[in-house]
């Protein structure tokens, strides 16, 4: 992490070892992962980081490094847009290799080939590692779990709930996730949230995916929290970042907000496709 901070790159050999090891770990996981937080212990959920490595370091500064005593869930969109995506993904993957139970990772819509081609990750991987890594990351992203349930009460997923009603946790467990995601998105109202929670005996939905001025937003009578952890998104949105800490047994959400920290002068989207840079 210190080397990354000083804009050094990791030798390809070690990057390979990390990515191949993470592939084994992720392949063995179910599509829906159950997390247990024992009484008296805490758990932190972060939203999109989007290649903002120096803000990721700031999260660890504020809330401690991931460890078995200080576990995290990063809820998708680790890469793209920010120009330190390789540093973000290798750091998160390395922690997961070291302490598999200290860090959990959900797939976001930017953990996909089509997004990575346009929004910078693919170009950054070619520049900092090699062409071979582009394919390797694309494969590994397909193995990321789709959702997590914490203490049988809190459902965490990147984008949100489903365009169809009546989805059960068992349906999510049964998804064969080893593929590129479909194109269509979804949106949902409070009625959908409440019905999903009731059907599955849950208390809260946490999702990410959307930038929020304060880094978070609470909706649907407190039953839905959006958390977004990339402050001053793309160096221009002026938003705060946030993360949520839950403490067992109550699992009441405590939201911590933070501001962006300085980073080296590499613009967001520096590695994006030329077509997109024209509009930036």
Q: Is the dihedral of CA 237, 9, 24, 93 positive or negative?
A: negative
Please state, in angstroms and rounded to a whole number, the distance separating the CA atoms of residues 230 and 218. 17
Is 162 within 8 Å of 199 (Cβ atoms)? no
Please state, in angstroms and rounded to a whole number, the distance separating the CA atoms of residues 156 and 202. 11
Residues annotated as part of the active site: 110
Question: Do the strands 42-46 and 72-74 form a parallel or antiparallel pair, or are they unpaired?
Answer: parallel
Q: What is the dihedral of CA 191, 194, 200, 204, to 10 degrees?
A: 140
Q: Is 176 exposed, middle or buried (0-12, 13-18, 19+ CB in 10 A)?
A: exposed
């Amino acid at each position: 992490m210190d080397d990354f901070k000083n804009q050094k790159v990791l030798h390809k050999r070690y990057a390979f070892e990390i990515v191949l090891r993470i592939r084994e770990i992720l392949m063995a996981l179910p599509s829906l992962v159950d997390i247990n937080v024992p009484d008296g212990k805490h758990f932190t959920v972060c939203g999109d980081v989007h290649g903002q490595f120096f803000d990721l370091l700031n999260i660890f500064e504020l809330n401690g490094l991931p460890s078995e005593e200080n576990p995290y869930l990063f809820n998708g969109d680790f890469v793209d847009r920010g120009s330190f995506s390789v540093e973000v993904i290798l750091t998160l993957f390395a922690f997961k290799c070291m302490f598999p139970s200290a860090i959990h990772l959900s797939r976001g819509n930017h953990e996909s080939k089509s997004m990575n081609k346009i929004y910078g990750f693919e170009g950054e991987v070619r520049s900092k590692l090699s062409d071979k890594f582009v394919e390797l990351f694309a494969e590994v992203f397909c193995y990321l779990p789709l959702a997590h349930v914490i203490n049988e009460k809190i459902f965490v997923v990147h984008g949100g709930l489903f365009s169809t009603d009546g989805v059960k946790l068992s349906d999510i467990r049964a998804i064969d996730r080893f593929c590129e995601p479909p194109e269509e998105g979804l949106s949902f109202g409070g009625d959908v949230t409440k019905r999903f929670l009731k059907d599955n005996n849950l208390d809260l939905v946490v999702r990410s995916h959307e930038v929020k001025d304060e880094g978070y937003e609470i909706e649907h009578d407190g039953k839905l929290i959006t958390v977004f952890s990339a402050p001053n998104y793309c160096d221009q949105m002026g938003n705060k970042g946030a993360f949520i800490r839950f403490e067992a047994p109550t699992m009441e959400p405590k939201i911590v907000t933070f501001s962006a920290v300085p980073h080296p002068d590499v613009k967001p989207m520096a590695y994006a496709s030329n077509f997109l840079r024209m509009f930036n």
